[in-house]
Amino acid sequence: MNPDRQSPVWHPFTQHGLGDPIPLIARGEGARLYDADGNHWIDAISSWWVTTHGHAHPRIMAATRDQSEKLDQLIFAGWTHEPAETLAAELVRITPDPLTRVFFSDSGSTSVEVALKMALGYWFNLGEDRSRILVLEHSYHGDTIGAMSVGERGVYNRAWQPLLFDVGTIPFPHEGREQATLDALDAACAQKPAAFIVEPLILGAGGMLVYPAWVLAEMRAICARHDVLFVADEVMTGWGRTGTRFACDAAGVIPDIVCLSKGLTGGAIPLAVTLCIEPIFAAHWSTDRAKTFYHSSSYTANPIACAAANANLAIWRDEPVQARIDTLGEAQAAHLAMLAHDPRVASARSLGTIAAFDIVAPDAGYLSNLAPRLIAFHRDHGVLLRPLGSTVYVMPPYCVTPADLSHIWTMIAASLDAI
């Protein structure tokens, strides 16, 4: 623990005024994090959904070490390097054929900003006046101004509301009300918006809200029918989280634009990509400089980050990653089933490696003190867990041992008694 609050660090999504202890982590290995005194925690949420194969994975660490001795950084406007070329070619190979172009950035939020700029740039360069974005209720796409604009409005972005741009919101497809979602999307698409952005199969930060693959496929078909660009934000769902490499794979959906980040480097180094179909690239391809896609950040396609991503892709090629995901998914579903009939547990749901439920509580909003008490309980019992309001979820790295997974779920059951 680090009780010394002399630290100048201002932590994200952290209310420093509450004085919660902030553990000082020295080392990570597999699904575990260690402090300097040898205390350890099981990382039940993959350090906020990024760590897929485990912390400090030897192959990813070796790749970054190796690359760091060759080329650390390069301007990516007008110059290129081998790790980025290899990565882009491999991403195009493993995604559906229509996705032909890869634009690099450095976080999930920026990959979303790039997707929105690509969509508007496409229509602008075609000379069509289409700029409205459609979104799904309860969505989360990141914390920059543009990404917040296409996400759910609430207490976590109220101060910036005046800066957020207007979007069209489609109701979430709750069980039994899917047709209302599809009808609303169909009607909104008829108004000629630029694009529809959606988290495929599961809305993460919105509360681990799951919806069926057929709804995703229908939403995609509606966009295609109206010539509305379909943007899949796979920042959280990508790299096996939902049971298949990409969530869209399970629905047979081919988006026009895909955002990937988090597990792209196995969760080791920040990197993101926005993939798109050829017509979007073609609309920017010209001898006219005014049609250039004007977007860049300093660390676009950083070579060390690309090397980490190439190592991640090599792990997917050479190792039984899918089998690990299947095994973890079965274990998660079994642990969840044991809790599902507890009267304090509602809406037990799982998808691939993710398992979630809601705690039945009178004051269960995002700001209720349920989540901080759960976080503290688990922190004191060797588990890094971070519920979303009253929604508890487990999303560990794929290498978590059966014993560590059992410990997580045993502590969750104990926490329901304790709080």
Ligand X SMILES: *Cc1c(COP(=O)(O)O)cnc(C)c1O
What is the contact surface with ligand X in residues (CB under 6 A)?
A: 107-109, 112, 140-142, 199, 204-205, 233, 235-236, 261
CA distance 52 to 267: 6
CA distance 361 to 400: 30
CA distance 80 to 82: 7
User: 205 or 269, CB closer to ligand X?
Assistant: 205
User: 228 or 260, CB closer to ligand X?
Assistant: 260
Minimum CB separation of residue 125 from ligand X in Å reads 26
Helix then strand then coil, in percent of the chain rounded to 5, is 40, 15, 40
Count helices and strands (H / E) in the chain.
Answer: 13, 16
* Dihedral sign of CA atoms 144, 152, 281, 256 in order: positive
Minimum CB separation of residue 108 from ligand X in Å reads 2
Residue, CB closest to ligand X: 108
Minimum CB separation of residue 50 from ligand X in Å reads 8
Neighbours of 56 (CB within 10 A): 12
Nearest to 21 by CA among 47, 40, 2, 48: 2
CA distance 415 to 419: 6
User: 218 or 233, CB closer to ligand X?
Assistant: 233
Minimum CB separation of residue 363 from ligand X in Å reads 26
Contacts of residue 297, Cβ cutoff 8 Å, sequence gap at least 6: 105, 106, 110
Minimum CB separation of residue 11 from ligand X in Å reads 14
User: 64 or 261, CB closer to ligand X?
Assistant: 261
User: 125 or 200, CB closer to ligand X?
Assistant: 200
Minimum CB separation of residue 233 from ligand X in Å reads 5
102: which strand partners?
275
Minimum CB separation of residue 311 from ligand X in Å reads 19
CA distance 117 to 248: 22
Alpha carbon of 285 to those of 6, 126, 181, 282, 291: distances in Å?
53, 11, 36, 5, 7
User: 146 or 377, CB closer to ligand X?
Assistant: 146
Neighbours of 356 (CB within 10 A): 24
User: 205 or 308, CB closer to ligand X?
Assistant: 205
User: 173 or 204, CB closer to ligand X?
Assistant: 204
Alpha carbon of 78 to those of 38, 130, 288, 296: distances in Å?
48, 30, 16, 12
Minimum CB separation of residue 184 from ligand X in Å reads 21
